[in-house]
């Protein structure tokens, strides 16, 4: 009879992974900028949480709990110098009428700008703008105060604007105007 609970936990875990893997992979990819590293980060996170799955399911939001663990794993891993590598974007395979070249350029520019940010700023921006999380949830995920989250986001956006302006030779206060 003692086997019933672990079997249920296994089924809950498998069901959760099936339902949320795409969203969690997207988070990992936005953080790492590399599909291989994103997959590794997600697998490591799920493997680390699996033995404590009952704790995850007991959380108010199991998805937020896993995402927070994913972000923590990313920040911890990226502190190690050896985990830094150059990422390359993959071109989309199918066309649905959109200008794929422009999308690829925009996506590459976004990755380029995100990669210039410190890890915590990047994580705060990913959680805010790609997952629409409020400051309180981001602060829990990053283990900091709400005011720190606001500062991380503000500084991250400002740094991305400045980098964009520098790369495109435009003045940050007057978009579209070239610097002579």
Angle (nearest 5°) at CA 57 between 5 and 131 = 150
Give the residue with greater pLDDT, 102 vs 84.
102
Contact 119, 79 (CB under 8 A): yes
Which domains are assigned to the chain?
1-80 (1.10.1740.10), 99-180 (1.10.10.10)
How is residue 176 annotated by DSSP?
Answer: E
Tens of pLDDT, residue by residue over 27-66, are 999 888 889 999 999 999 999 999 999 999 999 999 999 9
**pLDDT higher than 80, residue 5:** no
Q: Is 143 helix (H, G, I), strand (E, B) or coil?
A: coil
Contact 89, 107 (CB under 8 A): yes
Residues shown for the chain: 180
Provide the β-strand partners of residue 171.
174
Tens of pLDDT, residue by residue over 161-176, are 898 888 877 665 555 5
């Amino acid at each position: 009879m003692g086997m019933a609970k672990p079997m249920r936990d296994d089924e809950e875990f498998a069901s959760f992974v099936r339902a949320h893997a795409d969203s969690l992979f997207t988070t990992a990819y936005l953080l790492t900028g590399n599909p291989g590293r994103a997959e590794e980060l997600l697998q490591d996170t799920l493997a680390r949480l699996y033995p404590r799955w009952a704790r995850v399911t007991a959380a108010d939001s199991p998805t937020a709990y896993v995402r927070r663990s994913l972000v923590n794993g990313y920040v911890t891993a990226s502190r190690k110098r050896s985990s830094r590598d150059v990422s390359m974007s993959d071109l989309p395979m199918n066309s649905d009428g959109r200008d794929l070249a422009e999308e690829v350029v925009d996506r590459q520019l976004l990755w380029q700008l995100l990669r210039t940010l410190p890890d915590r700023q990047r994580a705060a921006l990913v959680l805010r703008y790609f997952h629409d999380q409020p400051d309180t949830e981001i602060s829990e995920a990053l283990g900091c105060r709400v005011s720190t989250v606001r500062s991380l986001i503000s500084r991250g956006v400002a740094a991305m604007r400045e980098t964009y302006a520098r790369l495109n030779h435009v003045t940050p206060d007057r978009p579209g105007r070239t610097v002579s």
